[in-house]
Structure 1
Amino acid sequence: MRVVGFTSFGDPSVLSVADVPLPEPGKGQVRIRVQAATVNPGDIAVRSGAFGPMLPEGPRYVLGWDVAGTVDAGTAGFAQGDHVVGVSDWLETKRGTHAEFVVLDAAAIAPAPAGVDLVEAATFPVNSLTADQALDLLGLAEGQTLVVTGAAGAVGGYAVELARLRGLDVVGIGSVQDEAFITGLGATFLPRSEDPARVLREVKVDGLLDAAVIGAPALAAVRDGGAYVSVLPPATPPAERGIRVETVLVRSDGARLRELVALVEQGRLTLRLAQTFTFDQAAQAHELLAKGGVRGRIVLVP
């Protein structure tokens, strides 16, 4: 089968398409014929070598955290041909979804949203789970106030919607052109600036989800004793003023993914597809995401 991967860290040019053996599912696992898989910031971080000693150079790494496709073998509670979405615990298994087939634990997948094209369905599993698990780490109570940086981004947008469903008041920081989108999700809009610390000092809230990876300056928005969650380990700042600092590393959770699928079907989570690329165009997909400003998800299709 064909996969997108690399054997040395670097810029997008290190990516290549290779043929590898078809994986076989074990007990409690499902093989999925991949129809679509997103390119996430985590893929860029891994490819560039940002994870350092966590990922030694040498083997062929196949990227990709989430997937939408059809069950192909080892059904484990699913029927062959079922449309499913799932998440790979990539940092643990290195089982990338940028492949024609991927084997995942049955506990990591859920039925795809009814009536949603699989390419579009691929856009939400990792990002919605990341947002949901970040909110769990923040541990805010109904009525408290949350700031989300990058509120128009993939994780940020879901964080706003899920936080509002939890009864939180949300301040969303984003670019001026995203104001209508962010307020439409139910957040109070705050424009970002070239001096994020200045903007963030103007608010004092109970918690902050740093989806824009601002880092230490974002702590300025959090009250003493509040909570802060980073989405990228290298950018997680040290704690100060009694603020609890956490890093969210998304983990698969098929049961919760089923609940998020239901929210998609109810129209309470907004799916956004930016652009699709073939496996042979993977480097272009990475380049586009790295430029920033992409609204919606970039998706690879075999």
Structure 2
Amino acid sequence: MPTSVVDGIPTRYEVTGSGPPLLMYSPGGFDSRLENWADLGIYRTTRVLAQLAERYSCITFDRRESGLSGGRVERIRWSDYVAQGAGLLRHLDVDRAFLMGGCVGCSAVLALAVAHPSMARGLVLYSPAGGPRYRMTQHARFAAHASFVRAEGLPAVVELARSTTLSFTKDPRVGPWVTVIRTDPAFATAYAARDTAEYLLIVESMSRLLYDRDTVPGAEPEDLMRLDVPALIVPGQDASHATSAARYLEECLPQAEYWDVPVAGQTDVTAPAKVLSFLDGH
């Protein structure tokens, strides 16, 4: 698969199918790999990527610090995920595209649409991650990593990361840069040598900045209310994808279409057809 340096970070991506461009921010939390569109949970059972690619140029990519994309130790905000997606579109000479997010990818889609509304032809927000339990889980994950760093040090993080295949989501001790540690020896060496106190300031502020509310993070509600872009919202229904989060987006987005179908009714027949109907209509 091709790799492009976007915002100074190597970004692994793939373009599947043909037709109008559709930039797809992957689901999967801190393991947001492009393969998740075909292999993970409801995206696997609905076969949404395969069916969308029959009529659209689907641009999938490994989010920074995921899969085979690179990363940087810095206080990551949603604007950094915006820079990656917008930069990838520019690399592909795409001025305007549909934007689709799954799970946590919805937050990046919203942030990109607010920052660059002229780039957004329409939004598909599939099972947006959010809700009070989601926020609590994310904060606890960062806290567990910080606790491990205080007790064992950054060289121990590198050692642990190399001794397992678990992601930050599955084992918080390995931290949000675990995939880059595993794939980039120079990065791992520099990571282990960082000042621990400075690193902890970065990690603890990331948690607060990224997960700052009990609904969908990524963009302020006042900015969403001014966003003149059509949006399809497909609700989730669990602790990390609260239905209340999807309803919040319906309330905030002036051109929202809410697909009021429970997860059990989102099948390989119904879900891709609904998304295609929305895209074809805009």
TM-score (norm: length of structure 2)? 0.29
Greater strand proportion:
1
Greater helix proportion:
2
